[in-house]
Amino acid sequence: MVSRSEPQAPSRPTASRDGILIAENAGWHPGSWRDLPAAQQPVWPDEQARKKVEAQLAALPPLVFAGEVRALTAALAEVSAGRAFLLQAGDCAESFTEFSADSIRDKLKVILQMAVILTYAAGVPVVKVGRIAGQFAKPRSSPTERIGDQELEAYRGHMVNDDAFNPEARRPDPSRLITAYHQSAATLNLLRAFTKGGFADLAQVHAWNQEFVASLSEGRRYERIAAEIDAALRFMAACGIDLAAEVVLHQVDFWTSHEALILHYEEALTRWDSLTGMWVDCSGHLLWIGERTRQADGAHAEFLSGVINPVAFKIGPEATPDEVVALCERLDPNRVPGRLTLITRLGARRVEERLPMLIRAVREAGHPVVWACDPMHGNTFVSEGGRKTRRFDDIVEELRGFFAVHRREGTWPGGVHIELTGDDVTECLGGTEEIAEGDLHQRYTTTCDPRLNARQSLDLAFRISDLLRPSGAGHAP
């Protein structure tokens, strides 16, 4: 079981035996990041209040269990070997105010629908990971925000401050860390109920997909895939498989993930797993380092180097092969399959130029990583009306480039990382509903980056399925 008590030998993953990381005392402990420069941390105005919150969090139960973290590592090892595909998706930033059972349900629903389409197209299991139950903190390009002649501290996610533009709202408040914990616990509880309690039933999810295809005026393009999935289900039934009785057709594994940005929060939720003798960050299953905090000698890399969770980092267009390899070495010196996922977000126009050299460098260094594509963050721009947005076509274009490069390099395009919501928002341009710049104001509710709405997300899943299938545009001849 997990506990907070300090063991005799603080650990760092150093070796793998039967897929289990073995501990070694290398000076790491959950607070060792504090000795290093930590980018993107809020300046908490009241240090005593922050310390009190840390102690409170440290006494609360873990949100995830060490055995789950090991199971996700094993699932991601399958992805790294080309035998599974990763779908990681959810909000840019979860919100304290837009929090309801319906929105959790609708987000899960669209991810499950995408997963069925991708499973069929890829012909391998899809590992489903939400940006959810902890995705409350945002790195910012600028520490302040100016509107007119007022300059305030930037909004850093509801775990830190509020998005309203006034000095009081923007003041970092550590009690928000506790609220984030409780909202994560409630979210995770509902996700566990939905995914094990019948909501994820394959026939049901497929029926939702059929409804989507039927509702499209240009649905013919996707009808073939939907009809093939339908035929596959009927074939299974005809073979005598009792679709109603098969547990695997009614339940799914659904994992949580977030950017491990606010290190005081992550440290407080890190627990000792006496079964493996290792530290686990129990705030979520998978944790990633963002583009702005991926310094190999920085605090975020130090922190994640010592926990056994599967970890990921984002790679922007300016990242060099040396930087990427140095961070791989820092986070996964023992080259444990499933430990490390690299999420490239290079932009539609730069993916073909930048990705090949990164793939080659990582391959040469012998790291068995999962390669995933985030086609969102390299394609953001500000519309004429002043709203951050992304074009559906740019998103598809980056994915096309990602698949094409991996096919050429002989590596497995292991997954996708998408910002989406189940709500009917108008934040990204294009898609089957052809959302235009003039429509963005209608339902623009994100507190941070623009998300695909449910229909755009399903549209995207069908586009990705074209890229995954042997006849797809991204496949080598």
- Is 276 or 447 the residue whose CB approaches ligand PEP more closely? 447
Residue 92 binds to Co ion (criterion: CB under 5 A):
yes
CB of 265 to ligand PEP, least distance (A): 17
**Is 273 within 8 Å of 35 (Cβ atoms)?**
no
**Is 345 within 8 Å of 374 (Cβ atoms)?**
yes
Residue 347 binds to ligand PEP (criterion: CB under 6 A):
no
Q: Which stretch binds Co ion (CB under 5 A): 117-125, 361-369, 434-442, 445-453?
A: 445-453
Residue 92 binds to ligand PEP (criterion: CB under 6 A):
yes
- Is 92 or 299 the residue whose CB approaches ligand PEP more closely? 92
Reduced to 3 states, what is the DSSP secondary structure of residue 77? helix
Neighbours of 199 (CB within 10 A): 19
Reduced to 3 states, what is the DSSP secondary structure of residue 319? coil
Cα separation, 289 vs 168, in Å, equals 29
**Is 391 within 8 Å of 429 (Cβ atoms)?**
yes
Reduced to 3 states, what is the DSSP secondary structure of residue 14? coil
Q: Which residue is nearest to ligand PEP (CB)?
A: 290
Residue 290 binds to ligand PEP (criterion: CB under 6 A):
yes
Residues 246-275 that bind ligand PEP (CB under 6 A): none
Cα separation, 363 vs 372, in Å, equals 15
CB of 21 to ligand PEP, least distance (A): 26
Q: CA end-to-end span of the chain, whole Å?
A: 50
Cα distances from 227 to residues 214, 219, 250, 399, 459, in angstroms, run: 11, 12, 20, 25, 16
Site track 361-400 with ligand PEP (rule: CB under 6 A), x = hit: ----------------x-----------------------
Site track 138-177 with ligand PEP (rule: CB under 6 A), x = hit: -x--------------------------------------
**Is 474 within 8 Å of 407 (Cβ atoms)?**
yes
Residues 170-189 that bind Co ion (CB under 5 A): none
Partner touching 400 among Co ion, ligand PEP, none, CB below 5 to 8 Å by kind? none
Residue 345 binds to ligand PEP (criterion: CB under 6 A):
yes
Interface ranges with Co ion (CB under 5 A): 92, 449
Interface ranges with ligand PEP (CB under 6 A): 92, 139, 290-292, 314, 345, 377, 449
